[in-house]
Structure 1
Amino acid sequence: MGPIAKLLAQRISLGLLLLFLVSIVIFAGTSILPGDVAQQILGQSATPEALANLREELGVNDPPVTRYMNWLGGLLTGDLGTALTSGQSINEAVGRRLANTLFLAVCAAVVAVPLAIFLGLLAVRYQERWPDKLISASTLTTISMPEFVIGYIMMFIFGVQLRWFSPTAVSYRPDADFFTRLESIALPVIVLTLVVLAHMMRMTRAAILNVMQSAYIETAELKGMSTFSVIRKHAFPNAISPVVNVVMLNLAYLVVGVVVVEVVFVYPGMGQYLVDHVTKRDLPVVQACGIIFAAIYIGLNLVADVVSILTNPRLRHPK
Structure 2
Amino acid sequence: MLTFLLKKLIGAAGLLLVVSFLTFFVLHLIPGDAAQIKLGIDGSAEAVEAVQKELGLDRPWLLRYTDWLVQLLQGNLGQSQIYGQSVGALIADRLPLTAALMLLTMGISVAVAIPLGVWSAVKQNGWTDRLSRTVMQLGLAVPPFWVGIVLIFLFALYIPILPPGGTVSVQEGGLAVFLKSLLLPALSLSFVEIAILLRMVRVSMLQTLQQDSMRFARSKGLTAARLYLRYGLRNALIAPVTLIGMQISGLLGGVIVIEEVFALPGLGRLLLIAVQQRDIILLEGITVFITCVVIIVNLSVDLLYKRLDPRIELV
TM normalised by structure 2 equals 0.91
One-letter amino acid of the counterpart of residue 29, structure 1: V
In 1, distance between residues paired with 2:220 and 2:83? Answer: 70
Change (3 A) 1:231 1:262: same
Cα deviation for residue 28 of structure 1 reads 1.7
Counting aligned pairs with the same residue, the percent is 28
Correspondence for 2:162: 165
The match for 1:264 is: 261
CA contact (8 A) 1:102 1:255 kept: no
Q: Which runs of 5 or more structure 2 residues have no equivalent in the other structure?
A: none
Is residue 2:238 matched to residue 1:237?
Answer: no
User: Is 1:193 matched up with 2:158?
Assistant: no
2:169 counterpart letter in structure 1: R
Identify which of 27, 30, 35 aligns with 1:38.
35
Between the aligned partners of 1:174 and 1:43, the Cα distance in structure 2 is: 37
2:14 corresponds in structure 1 to 17
How much does 1:304 deviate? Answer: 1.0
Bigger mean CA deviation after superposition, 179-188 or 61-70:
61-70
CA distances 1:165-215 after superposition (whole Å, capped 9, x unpaired):
0111x2433522101101211211111221211111111122222222221
C-alpha contact 1:107 1:189 (8 A) present in aligned 2: yes
SS of equivalent to 1:175:
helix
| Matched-pair contact (CA < 8 Å) for 2:252–2:268 | no
Paired residue type of 1:39: Q
Tell whether the 8 Å contact from 1:124 to 1:205 is kept in structure 2 after alignment. yes
Aligned counterpart, 1:181: 178
Note the aligned Cα RMSD (angstroms). 2.1
Alignment of 1:136-175 (within 5 A): 136-168=133-165, 170-175=166-171
- Measured after TM superposition, the shift of residue 150 of structure 1 is 0.5
2:82 is aligned to: 85
CA contact (8 A) 2:117 2:202 kept: yes
1:60-75 equivalences in 2 (<5 Å): 60-75=57-72
TM-score w.r.t. length of structure 1? 0.90
Q: After alignment, is 304-313 or 280-289 more displaced?
A: 304-313
Q: How many residues align?
A: 313
Q: Deviations over 1:248-281 (max 9, x none)?
A: 2112223342111100000110111122232222
Per the TM alignment, residue 89 of structure 1 is displaced from its structure 2 partner at its CA by 2.1
Give 3-state SS (helix, strand or coil) of 1:73's partner: helix
Instruction: Tell whether the 8 Å contact from 1:259 to 1:272 is kept in structure 2 after alignment.
Output: yes
